[in-house]
Amino acid sequence: MSLLSAFPRTQIPDEAEKLRPQVKAFLEKSISHMRPQDRAKTWTGFDAEFSRALASHGWVGLTIPEGYGGGGRDAFARFVLVEELLAAGAPIAAHWIADRQSGPLLLRYGTEEQRQFYLPPICRGESFFCIGMSEPNSGSDLASVRTRAIRDGHSWRLTGSKIWTTYAHQSDYMIALVRTSGEPKDRQKGLSQFIIDLSLPGITIRPIRLGTLDSDFSELHFEDVRLPDNALVGTDGEGWTQVNAELAFERSGPERFYSALVLLDMWAERMRAEQCPQDREILGRLIARLASLRAMSIALTGRLAAGESPVIEAALVKDLGTSFEQDIPEIVAASVGAVPDRDADPDMLATLAYLLQLNHVFSLRGGTREILRGMIARGLGLR
């Protein structure tokens, strides 16, 4: 990987920018009533009705071709849309996974029949997806998954468990990585991807409660679940390659640095009322980091739009970006706590408290910091 050319100068085209005022106007109407602590959830805030409202504007499945009910737009248009949604703190979790990766995955690897069946309802905001990768004994070591699908005539029988599956309990489908041949010791070989209708018999889903008492993810058990032949996505045995193609989409987007932006802007607002030079400088540092992250993410958007798969570069953006968004609540806490005799605004305190309790996960979800750094090191020619 040549670092100097890995992030080429890239400008969002004007055509894509035209979308921005429309999205802003919509958000102004639809979410300005939300409390900041709820907006702070952004892409983990689940609101099916909001997703359907977005879809009615054509803003779910924006990059899916029009023939499948999508917007037929490019990755830059989606960057603009998503940037506005995240910065405003719109509750986009319901359709998020389908929009970001399941839809594009089906478009790339699905059969024509699968595309016709799954993509239009995704684009209408009526069909929600989750990602079934992690298992109780397979986290970072994803290739060790044990959930298994066995061919049985014209169908498959699925047995095993998935865990930490974001919003499985509110989703219609899971795209899962499971073993179809060989043993866990065969690692990347013998893995396949399936699309699982979560209403099928034999599936139990148990939401997992967090310390905050939210339930953002679930544990699933599959007991001899019968899947139709056409539940296989792509090629039998090619699951690992297919999953890796998703990773560049999953790791390079603005959701890897905007997760705490709502709080940053509340803090800036408070600072305006009561200027503190030390905080002002720290704010400036964050703005500088954000500028560089945003330019890097747009550069990768361009490479993805050109059909490339910059997986290592995406890992680099995610590691830097999640550090940035993790720092925001820590910095705001330092600023708030340093003036004990000042009344904290209750909304800001609630937003801060929410993010302080969950900012740890920013560098876990989607692959941990340590795993990403290992990938980057390999990309740099170490090992």
Ligand X SMILES: Cc1cc2nc3c(=O)[nH]c(=O)nc-3n(C[C@H](O)[C@H](O)[C@H](O)COP(=O)(O)OP(=O)(O)OC[C@H]3O[C@@H](n4cnc5c(N)ncnc54)[C@H](O)[C@@H]3O)c2cc1C
Q: Contact residues for ligand X (CB under 6 A)?
A: 130-134, 139-140, 164-166, 216-217, 361, 364-365, 367-368, 370-371
Which entry of another protein, ligand X, none binds 213, CB below 5 to 8 A by partner kind? none
Binding residue for another protein (CB under 8 A) from 16, 62, 64, 88?
Answer: 88
Which of 178, 125, 173, 118 is closest to 148 using CA atoms? 178
Which entry of another protein, ligand X, none binds 217, CB below 5 to 8 A by partner kind? ligand X
Least distance between another protein and beta carbon 92 (Å): 15
Least distance between ligand X and beta carbon 193 (Å): 12
Residue 280 is a binding residue for another protein (CB under 8 A): yes
Least distance between ligand X and beta carbon 195 (Å): 15
> Quick check: 162 and 137 in contact, CB under 8 A?
no
Stretch of 140-148, 226-234, 241-249, 367-375 contacting another protein, by CB under 8 A: 367-375
| Tokens linked to 353 | 């408290």
Which entry of another protein, ligand X, none binds 277, CB below 5 to 8 A by partner kind? another protein
Which entry of ligand X, another protein, none binds 114, CB below 5 to 8 A by partner kind? none
Angle at 316 between CA 365 and CA 173, to 5 degrees: 35
Binding residue for another protein (CB under 8 A) from 293, 304, 348, 355?
Answer: 293
> Quick check: 237 and 189 in contact, CB under 8 A?
yes
Name the DSSP class of 7. Answer: S
Stretch of 85-93, 107-115, 225-233, 341-349 contacting another protein, by CB under 8 A: 85-93
Q: Which residues contact 380 (CB under 8 A, 6 or more apart)?
A: 1
Which of 149, 196, 179, 313 is closest to 247 using CA atoms? 313
Least distance between ligand X and beta carbon 375 (Å): 11
Nearer Cβ to another protein (221/289): 289
Nearer Cβ to another protein (27/203): 27
DSSP sequence for 46-113: --HHHHHHHHHTT-SSTTS-GGGTS----HHHHHHHHHHHHHHT---HHHHHIIIIIHHHHHHHS-HH
> Quick check: 140 and 212 in contact, CB under 8 A?
no
Nearer Cβ to another protein (56/140): 140
| Tokens linked to 199 | 């209403």
Nearer Cβ to another protein (353/376): 376
| CB count in 10 Å sphere of residue 343 | 7
Residue 261 is a binding residue for another protein (CB under 8 A): yes
Which entry of ligand X, another protein, none binds 131, CB below 5 to 8 A by partner kind? ligand X
Which entry of another protein, ligand X, none binds 353, CB below 5 to 8 A by partner kind? none
Least distance between another protein and beta carbon 46 (Å): 22
| Tokens linked to 332 | 């705001």
Sign of CA dihedral 213, 100, 60, 295: positive
Burial of 172 (0-12, 13-18, 19+ CB in 10 A): middle
Residue 249 is a binding residue for another protein (CB under 8 A): no
Number of residues that bind another protein (CB under 8 A): 57
Q: Which residues from 199-238 bind another protein, rule CB under 8 A?
A: none
Q: Are strands 217-228 and 155-166 parallel, antiparallel or unpaired?
A: antiparallel
In what helix (H) or strand (E) does residue 370 lie, and over which residues does it extend? helix 369-379
Stretch of 119-127, 139-147, 183-191, 283-291 contacting another protein, by CB under 8 A: 283-291
Nearer Cβ to another protein (213/382): 382
- The angle that helices 239-251 and 277-305 make with each other, rounded to 10 degrees, is 140
Contact residues toward another protein (CB under 8 A) are 3-12, 83-84, 86-88, 258, 261, 264-265, 268, 271-272, 275, 277, 279-296, 298-299, 316, 319-320, 370, 372-374, 376-377, 380-383
